[in-house]
Amino acid sequence: MQFWIYPNPISEEARELAARLAARLRDSLAEKPDLADVVIVLGGDGTMLRAVRALNNVNKPFWVVNCGHLGYLSDCGRDETMRCLDQILQGDYRLEYRVQIGGVLMNEKRITALNELLFHRGACVHALQITVHVNGSLALRYRGDGLIICTPSGSTAYNLSAGGPVLMPEMELLTLTPICSQSLSTVPIVVSSHDRLNVSWRMAYREGEEEWPDLTADGQEKHLLPLEGELEIREPMPPVALVRTRDADFYARLQHRMHWNAEE
């Protein structure tokens, strides 16, 4: 079994753990990512998102060891690393598959995300006029600060803060969550990840205004947008596989991270 190690370069804990793993796996380190059986990610959720973007064409399972803050995507903490690695080497693990979003911006730019696509008016003083069609049918039309299109992996991030629902990790669903809609009747909706989405936007413009709306993918890739345009999400991307060495209780993890339902 061959491994490729992808640590957070600015984390001392991740660098130290990478050195320990490299010593342990000296004869099992792949020369490049596409020759590995498993990519080991050492860091937080942000490191995992960067790894997916950097290695998206590699199509290998990711094993995430939390050296960051929340670690929703991680399998274990640093103290459990070697024990969980032994399980993986013995084949005692399963793969958990996570939906990705794939879209085409303005009929030319390919956009992907594991967590979310975020439309936002940025520093503009005007609201965005956003319209969403699902499989050709009008689903949302409103004026507001923006729109979050998120996967189950991203449902516990900005989506949750904006009032969107939490989705179970392996659901093949997407959430469309308006941000600060000017209409109180506008609510988040949930669609299939296999649905075809057309998101169009339009913004009023004041002469001399220098700010523009933007689209951000996973907090990693930002695109300044014209005053009007369209994003198409036509078909699901290949899912991302995460290595799991235990039967995770997602609800327990969520309550622990969010401090929900704590006893007085």
Determine the Cα–Cα distance for residues 104 and 223; give it in Å rounded to an integer: 12
Kindly tell me if the per-residue pLDDT of 105 is higher than 70. yes
pLDDT in tens, 80-97: 999 999 999 999 999 999
**What pLDDT is recorded for position 56?**
76
Domain identity same for 88 and 166: no
Q: What pLDDT band is residue 59 in, cutting at 50, 70 and 90?
A: confident
Domain identity same for 111 and 67: no
In a domain, residue 84? The reply is: yes
Domain identity same for 92 and 106: no
Kindly tell me if the per-residue pLDDT of 6 is higher than 90. yes
* Domain containing residue 226: 101-233
**What pLDDT is recorded for position 219?**
92
**What pLDDT is recorded for position 262?**
63
Kindly tell me if the per-residue pLDDT of 208 is higher than 80. no
In a domain, residue 264? The reply is: no
Q: What does the pLDDT average to over 27-48?
A: 94
Domain identity same for 43 and 143: no
Domain identity same for 46 and 167: no
Number of domains observed in the structure of the chain:
2
Domain identity same for 112 and 216: yes
Contact 1, 11 (CB under 8 A): no
Kindly tell me if the per-residue pLDDT of 74 is higher than 80. yes
Domain identity same for 162 and 243: no
Domain identity same for 119 and 152: yes
- pTM (predicted TM-score): 0.90
Domain identity same for 59 and 131: no
Q: What pLDDT band is residue 256 in, cutting at 50, 70 and 90?
A: low
In a domain, residue 107? The reply is: yes
Domain identity same for 161 and 253: no
% of the chain surpassing 90 pLDDT: 73
In a domain, residue 86? The reply is: yes
**What pLDDT is recorded for position 69?**
73
Kindly tell me if the per-residue pLDDT of 264 is higher than 60. no
Classify residue 145 by its DSSP letter: S
Q: What does the pLDDT average to over 162-187?
A: 94
Contact 62, 45 (CB under 8 A): no
**What pLDDT is recorded for position 233?**
94
**What pLDDT is recorded for position 200?**
96
What single-letter amino acid sits at 53? R
| CB neighbour list of residue 191: distance below 8 Å, 6 or more residues apart | 134, 139, 173, 174, 175, 176, 197
**What pLDDT is recorded for position 257?**
64
Domain identity same for 186 and 144: yes
169: CATH: 2.60.200.30
177 exposed, middle or buried (CB, 10 Å; 0-12, 13-18, 19+)?
buried
- Range of lowest pLDDT (140-154, 177-191, 226-240): 226-240
62: CATH: 3.40.50.10330
In a domain, residue 263? The reply is: no
Catalytic residues: 45
Contact 12, 36 (CB under 8 A): no
Domain identity same for 54 and 154: no
Q: What pLDDT band is residue 57 in, cutting at 50, 70 and 90?
A: confident
In a domain, residue 223? The reply is: yes
